[in-house]
Structure 1
Amino acid sequence: MRRADAHLHLFADGYPGRYGHSPAGGDELAVYQGIRREHGIERALVIGYEGEPRFVGNNDHLARLTAAHDWIAAVAYVPPGGPVGGSGAENWLSAGFVGVAAYLADQAAADAFAGWMTRQASTLNRVKALVSLNATPTATTRLGPALAALDGCTVLFSHLGLPGEQAEAPTRDAARAVLAPLAGMARLPHVGVKISGLYAVSRPSHGFPHQAARPFVDLLLDTFGPRRLYWGSDFPPCLDHVSFAQAADPIGLDGLPVEGREAILGGNLLRALDRHAAATR
């Protein structure tokens, strides 16, 4: 089975973690290289993040890693209102990124990013870019028209659409109500969702296999189908809560046909990266 990781981070000085140091226990790039070999991960989508002062410069770090390692595909962090100075997506694409990433906590952030995306749509569509969104359900309600315009891209909502921490598994109706804005995006065939960050849905976060996430995974399988779901490890933050082997075995996929499971665990991301590569040759 071909595996590809649709969500991880690599920081020059390491992710500080809940205990003040990287839970990877060493140089994050070197640690992940070993993980790749052990789990047979062919490609990895590294998500840029500069939303806090301590992470400023992460895009430059990822540009250097992308140039040095052909297994790395990175998406550049973009503030909700777009890059400082008003530069466009061309800057990041020319630096070797395969697309952009945004973190949208509320409607104001979503509106600002939607405006920037709309202005950049032709550029992003031309190269079949990947667009990674950490967007709350509240923010997602504001993104429909802008995402519809990105019909040449692969748009990926991270971490099950951020349904929030659950003390216990919600009912099917409760899960549907929480993810209603994301489910509405299923009408757009280029939009998918990452099966990632399951620890953040569960209380306690170390309670593998994260039964509280199961209703959301089931709902996303029914709504988007296996061809539009993407496994992501969320390395290294996940290691504050679970082992990598646990993060690599998300709940809800065991009952799928082999082809559906293989699509989620790597095939879908590899196809998206191949489309981008063909568009930029």
Structure 2
Amino acid sequence: MDRADAHLHLFAHGYPGRYGRSPAGGEEVAMYQDFRRVHGIDRALVVGYEGEARFAGNNDYLASLTATHPWIAPVAYVAPDGPTDGQLERLWAAGFVGVAAYLVDADQADRFATWVTRASARLTAAAALISLNATPAAAARLGTALAGLDACPVLFSHLGLPGSRPAPPTPQAATETLRPLLDLARLPQVGVKISGLYAVSEPAHAWPHPAARPFVELLLEHFGTRRLYWGSDFPPSLDHVSFSQTLEPVGLEQLRPTERADVFGANLRRALAHHRARPADGQDRPAD
């Protein structure tokens, strides 16, 4: 099965990780190339992050990779207030397929929603992909703004950030936690990444993360397999699990082969199809 990864990061000097160095154990692009080759990953949504001073310049670094790594589909980090006038067009020219925002509370979500509403025509014209690390409190404030982006795939990362817990919640508790995100399932352009399951588990290394199962099952029920996207969360995930373990998220065992193909790659390829200006079969393609 060919795969496409809907959530990973690449940093020029490596992700510092819990031990002060990248858990990838070496140069991150080279390490991910090995994972691509072994696991047949032909496309990857690389999510920019500059939310801390130590990660400044990550957008520029990702832009520098796109010319020589056609498998990379980068989304640029933007602050909750959005980029300044004219910056969107510069991002598209640099090869970005969309933007990534990190929204932890209602205030940040309101600021982002204001920007999205103002920029909706430009985002829609570019069919930009919107990647959101948004808590349920933030998701609750985004419905009206996201409804105006009907041509833009909107992907919520890490199961919608339900928070960590030592044991699986009851179905009712899981529903209450994710209700703001589940309410957004009415918007056909909104999907969710099955990624970052370690962040739902206490301890985070307790693969296969049974505490995540009720949330995955809820997302399957509300979004269906055509709007779920597997993501490795490389390299932060490697602080807690192996890369191979990210390929087996709990709650997807019962999927039929065609449904697995959608979640593990086809859905992301469809979302990116209109951005594929360059061939995806260059020298960086995984070996057959």
**TM-score bucket (shorter structure):** over 0.9
1:209: which partner in 2? 208
Q: Deviations over 1:86-128 (max 9, x none)?
A: 4442221111100000000001100111111112111111121
1:66: which partner in 2? 66
Distance 1:109 1:217 in 2: 26
Distance 1:258 1:173 in 2: 29
Give me the TM-score of the superposition, normalised by structure 2: 0.94
Distance 1:87 1:98 in 2: 16
2:275: which partner in 1? 276
1:129 Cα offset (Å): 1.3
Amino acid at match of 2:18: R
1:131/1:156 contact within 8 Å kept: yes
2:54: which partner in 1? 54
Secondary structure at 2:67 match in 1: helix
1:101: which partner in 2? 100
Amino acid at match of 1:39: H
Moved over 3 A (4+): 85-88
1:88/1:120 contact within 8 Å kept: no
User: Are 1:30 and 2:30 counterparts?
Assistant: yes
User: Could you tell me the percent identity over the aligned residues?
Assistant: 65
Secondary structure at 2:276 match in 1: helix
User: Are 1:6 and 2:10 counterparts?
Assistant: no
Distance 1:108 1:34 in 2: 41
1:187: which partner in 2? 186
Map residues 63-142 of structure 1 onto 2, 5 A cutoff: 63-83=63-83, 85-142=84-141
Q: Deviations over 1:216-247 (max 9, x none)?
A: 00000000000000000000000000000001
Give me the TM-score of the superposition, normalised by structure 1: 0.97
1:276 Cα offset (Å): 3.2
Q: Deviations over 1:149-187 (max 9, x none)?
A: 110000000000000001100011110000000000000
1:252 Cα offset (Å): 1.0
Q: Which runs of 5+ in 1 are unaligned?
A: none
1:236: which partner in 2? 235
Q: CA RMSD, aligned part only?
A: 1.0
Distance 1:141 1:99 in 2: 22
Distance 2:86 2:109 in 1: 19
Secondary structure at 2:82 match in 1: coil
Amino acid at match of 2:186: R
Distance 2:82 2:189 in 1: 22
Which shifted more, 89-98 or 158-167? 89-98
1:219: which partner in 2? 218
